[in-house]
């Protein structure tokens, strides 16, 4: 007997059981709401923008304006990064 076999190898080590079911780009309001729900703290739009710039999602020449903005706290940056990964905007790690 001859047959055809098909195998699919999937790495599920980092799978947490959730995914963003839509393929649209989330608004800042949706990002803030997700962080508030998951972590219980608020982030502002400037922090989201700075994190997006860090990962190359925003490219502009707003250097003069950004020098007056405070640096994003590491725990907030990590939460924003996780949110961007969850929404499928960037890849994890």
- Angle, helix 45-54 to helix 74-86, in steps of 10 degrees: 70
Long-range contacts of 15-19 (CB under 8 A, 24+ apart): 18/86, 19/86, 19/88
Compute CA distances 20 → 23, 25, 47, 78, whole Å: 8, 11, 22, 18
Residues 2-26 have pLDDT tens digits of 556 555 555 555 555 555 455 578 8
Model pTM? 0.67
What's the pLDDT tens digit per position in 36-90? 999 999 999 989 988 888 888 887 765 655 566 678 899 999 999 999 998 888 8
Closest by CA to 86, choosing from 18, 32, 11, is: 18
């Amino acid at each position: 007997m001859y047959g055809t076999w098909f195998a699919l190898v999937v790495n599920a080590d980092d799978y947490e059981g959730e995914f963003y079911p839509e393929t649209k780009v989330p608004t800042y309001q949706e990002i803030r709401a997700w962080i508030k729900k998951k972590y219980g703290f608020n982030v502002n739009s400037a922090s989201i923008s700075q994190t997006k710039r860090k990962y190359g999602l925003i490219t502009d020449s707003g250097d003069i304006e950004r020098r007056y903005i405070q640096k994003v706290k590491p725990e907030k940056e990590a939460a924003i990064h996780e949110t961007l990964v969850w929404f499928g905007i960037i890849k994890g790690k």
